[in-house]
Chains A and B, each alone.
Chain A
Amino acid sequence: MSNSSTNAYTILGVTHHSTPAEVRQAYLAMVRLNPPDRDADKFREIHSAYQILSDPLVQAESILTPPREPPDLGATIAVAEKKRPRLSTLALLALGNLE
């Protein structure tokens, strides 16, 4: 993967495993935070990063590139501990059962 695309991932705060939809979401969020009238340079940087990552070939490379190092299971667990799941509708409704 080229340096420019590596930087683009960093600028948009996504990983090379992020889906195109996630990249777009991150781009929109960044633009919302850095609109062109506030910081034109930053906006330009974000926009060019998005253009790089919207390139079909860069997207294909990111899908094709295998992981570079083993993921940290501890980190995945820590995220799960912090982010509690939404209950399924049935489970939620069952919390109102009278015993």
Chain B
Amino acid sequence: MASRKAKERARLEKVLQQRRQRQPPTSTASVLDDRVKLTEFKPRPAVAERLEDAAVFARVSREQLSSELQAEAILVAESLELVHRGSFEQAVESLKSIARSSPYADWRLFVRGLVGFYNEDPETATQNWFRLDRDRRPARIASTLLHAEMETQVSNELNPPTAKMIETAHELRFRPNLIESAKRIAAVHHRGKDTTFSVSQVAMLSSLRDRFRSLDKDFISAFSCDCVRIAFFQPNSNVFKMLTKPIAGPAEDPNWNLLTFQYLRLFQGRNEEARKSGMNFINSDLPKLNHLTSETKNALVSSVYLVFAGLELESSNPFAAMGMFRFLYDEPNYKQAENYIQTAIQKFPANRNAYEMLIDTLEKQLNVRGITKRGEELVEVEIIAAKVGLVKAFPSEVETSLWLIDHYFDEERLDLADELIKKLSDQRLDDPLAKALPWKLKIREAMRLGHRKDGIAAANSILNSAESIWPNWLAKDWLPFLKAALVLRAGDRARFEQLVLEARQNCGANEVVGNVMAFAAMQQMGLPSNELKSMREIVDGYVREAERLPIAELCSIGSFFWDLTRMGLRHKGYRIHSSRFGKAMTSRLKDGEMPEMNAKFVDTCCWTAEHRFWKSNYDPNQPDWIAPLMQSDPKVASAVLGSLLKERYSIRRLTELKPLVAMVLEAARSEKDAYYRFRFEKIATDAKARIVDYEGQNSRTRGNRFGSMVDDSENEDDEEDDCMCESCRARRAREQEPQAAVNDASSASSTRIDRPSKEYEDDEIEEVEDELGIEDWENDEYNDEDDDDDEDEDDENDSDGFDEDGNAIPSPLPPRVLTLEEKKARRKQLQKELNRKLSSRRNKGKKS
């Protein structure tokens, strides 16, 4: 394998060498270039030239001047250098000390004119230059520049330069050869669909850089860097390496380590090489980038480590993004990824992406195959720690803070919850849920106190104070049930029943809905199970009969559960009831039963969408009944979008629902309810960002991700040399003939194996071949000569993996392509097997 590669590389280098030696096509421009010999173009003092002028560039002349004049000559030389670097003001300023009577006054004028000339201000240039002494060097330079630039006789005030000098100046300023060569490189047409920069272009660029290096460094550098970036878009790492080796990278990536890192990670199986380049950048290049602040450097290291983590998390499963076939592939190395993310956080603690990635990585671990209960618990602890870290680093992080507050409520760590609530209230947040946290804290406190008999009075008074700060966007229907539950907790059942009846009448709930609400309140107030038992049996009965309950009652129950969901006050023990009611509701809606369209039904739709009660493994999309509702009601639309945002593999569906996002965003502007107004805006903004991100990623990765493609490094000949003229075609044929012969010979000797026909009979061999499943030794699977053809065929059949709407379509499992080494090993194994079988048959025959 290695020798084949080495041979191939040697051949490639030979071809390149030949190409480099080949003369470029003759043109007037190239003739000019040869004649001018720019590298040898240096100032030479003329015989009769004034010493002061020659002193500007010739040390011998300078030494013959007085010390004052020597200092002025040096000033002029430095000023010219400043002009060259673009520091015009500084250049003019530096010559102010030269007196008008000084012999260097002419140079002062010249520099002023030169600045005007470079600033494309011919008036300033000519105003200064026409005052120059015609017989001195500054006037000659000025005259040459004006003639070369304006291509006409400017004035008789300056002596006209020679045609050769004008030509030279023209070459220096307009660079016709350089531009022509660059255009030729840009115009190369590629035959291979994946080729963006061919080997022949590399050779042309190398020649351009050699010839014009001294002419226009800035352009050559920018042009070469662009060529490297173009090569970044093709799966041919040899061309990329050929370019990055001699070309200096931009200021922030001088050795192309960062781009190489990004490039190699596009290939499957080259993550280690990519990581090495990334580490080279961090350890060797980054410390030398003095133009970056230390904060930016740390942020850069942090971001690179996050990409390392991303590489570690990348699954070998091509369908991982769609959540498919997970059982067929190994899980990623989560621990290693976690280490990288922790390093990223350590390097730059204000990296929000790092915390989010850490939480995401930990959450993924909860779904790892075969995870134990204990393992789950440990991961959950880590998730909480990561969320605490995120909230510490970003105190304005509302969503995670709310999650943590709920978690602390559930764990009855009200002190921690209170601390977080105070932090959030200091920030004057717009989120109505965040604003309602003091109210929620009171409700939770009342519920906690209600668990103990001696806390009932305090719980009652806290409930009363909660009533005064009850959020406007939430109905108070449940409050009387909570108070009634406290009465039952105190042991007064008759009063409890009376209060429940009153509460039902006040909110217009019938018996079924009232009992469901009462049961929820009793659970939250921590009533003992013997007191809950009778009500539990009643509600269990409703759950069993859910298929037969009037659908309007189910809607009322749904509306109540939606309120509980919005408040985040659903009791753990009530989730089973809730989901059973939800599933019964969705099943009846699916069967075509449609209730009256009112607020309660909309709430129910929001509730079912939020929890995706309709979801099954076979039909992850929304059911038909909700489609017209989500088109017409922004609340339902936002609930559907919200549920999709929570799903990991829902981005395609989310993209399909783009018009809904616009509708919800529009509704946010006119919505009066503070809760929905905020919810609409948040969901629509998040969905929009996710879609933009997905579409951006798509446009970046399409045709750019080489994971499924072979590195074309060894197929450069297919791509390069695009000239179709007769002589080029003939030359290519000449070049290919001997190579083809060498290839044939080497492949025949190294890869094919002889059919064992000498020792055994043909029939016998065929029988064993059948047994081993070998149809034909010439079969492609075992011989690599035809591999190229196969690849071509694959290319032709290859779609870009997207349907007409630009959505990713799941492709069938990619065919397993054997590497050369694998093919050899397989061949060897088959040969051995064949010989073994034949010899054992022979032995058996002898014995019998």
Contact = CB atoms under 8 A, between A and B. Distances in A.
Interface of A: 1-3, 17, 19-21, 56-57, 59-61, 63-64, 66-71, 73-74, 76-77, 80-81, 84-99
A76 B223 contact: yes
12 contacts: A17-B250, A19-B252, A59-B299, A61-B303, A64-B300, A66-B262, A76-B223, A80-B216, A89-B57, A93-B56, A96-B140, A98-B46
A71 B292 CA distance: 25
A19 B219 contact: no
B86 interface: yes
A95 B215 CA distance: 14
Contact of A91 (B38, B175, B295, B699): B38
Contact of B165 (A60, A85, A87, A99): A99
Contacts of A76: 182, 219, 222-223, 226
Nearest to A63: B252
Contacts of A20: 291-293, 296
A71 B141 contact: no
Contacts of B351: 57
A57 B258 CA distance: 16
Task: Tell me which of A77, A92, A97 has the highest count of chain B C-beta atoms within 10 A of its own C-beta.
Answer: A97
Task: Tell me which of B216, B218, B251 has the highest count of chain A C-beta atoms within 10 A of its own C-beta.
Answer: B216
A56 B299 contact: yes
B291 A94 contact: no
B348 interface: yes
A14 B776 CA distance: 62
Given A77-B179, A94-B41, A66 B263 contact: yes
Nearest to A89: B80
A90 B348 contact: no
Interface stretch (B227-235, B384-392, B580-588, B730-738): B227-235
B348 A57 contact: yes
Contacts of A63: 252-253, 258, 296, 300
Contacts of A60: 296, 299-300, 302-303, 348
Interface residues of B, number: 81
Given A91-B41, A98-B46, A57 B299 contact: yes
Contacts of B214: 88
A57 B165 CA distance: 52
Interface of B: 38, 41-44, 46, 49, 53, 56-57, 77, 80-81, 83-84, 86, 114, 118, 137-138, 140-141, 144-145, 161-162, 164-165, 168-169, 172-175, 179, 182-183, 185-186, 196, 214-216, 218-219, 222-223, 226-227, 229-230, 232-233, 250-253, 258-259, 262-263, 291-293, 295-296, 298-300, 302-304, 307, 348, 350-351, 689, 692, 696, 699-700
A92 B80 contact: yes
A-B pairs, top 5 by smallest CB distance, nearest first, are A96-B137, A60-B299, A73-B186, A93-B43, A56-B299
B623 to A, nearest CB: 33
A67 B86 CA distance: 29
A84 to B, nearest CB: 5
Contacts of A97: 43-44, 46, 140, 165
Nearest to B298: A56
Contacts, number: 164
B307 A64 contact: yes
A96 B185 CA distance: 34
Contact of B226 (A59, A71, A88, A99): A71
A86 B117 CA distance: 10
A96 B46 CA distance: 10
Contacts of B252: 19, 63
A73 B182 contact: yes
Contact of A96 (B144, B175, B219): B144
A35 to B, nearest CB: 22
A80 B598 CA distance: 67
Contact of B182 (A80, A84, A91, A98): A80
Nearest to A21: B291
Given A19-B251, A71-B226, A98-B49, A64 B303 contact: yes
Contacts of A66: 232, 259, 262-263
B44 A67 contact: no
Contacts of B57: 89-90, 93
A64 B304 contact: yes
B251 A73 contact: no
Given A92-B84, A97-B43, 14 more contacts: A19-B251, A56-B293, A56-B296, A64-B262, A64-B300, A70-B233, A80-B219, A84-B173, A92-B114, A94-B41, A94-B43, A96-B53, A97-B140, A98-B49
A19 B298 CA distance: 16
A16 B215 CA distance: 29
B145 to A, nearest CB: 7
Task: Tell me which of B118, B252, B302, B307 has the highest count of chain A C-beta atoms within 10 A of its own C-beta.
Answer: B252
A90 B173 CA distance: 14
B447 to A, nearest CB: 40
Nearest to B214: A88
Contacts of B141: 92-93, 95-96
Contact of A67 (B38, B175, B229, B302): B229
A62 to B, nearest CB: 9
Contacts of A94: 41-44
A70 to B, nearest CB: 4
Nearest to B292: A20
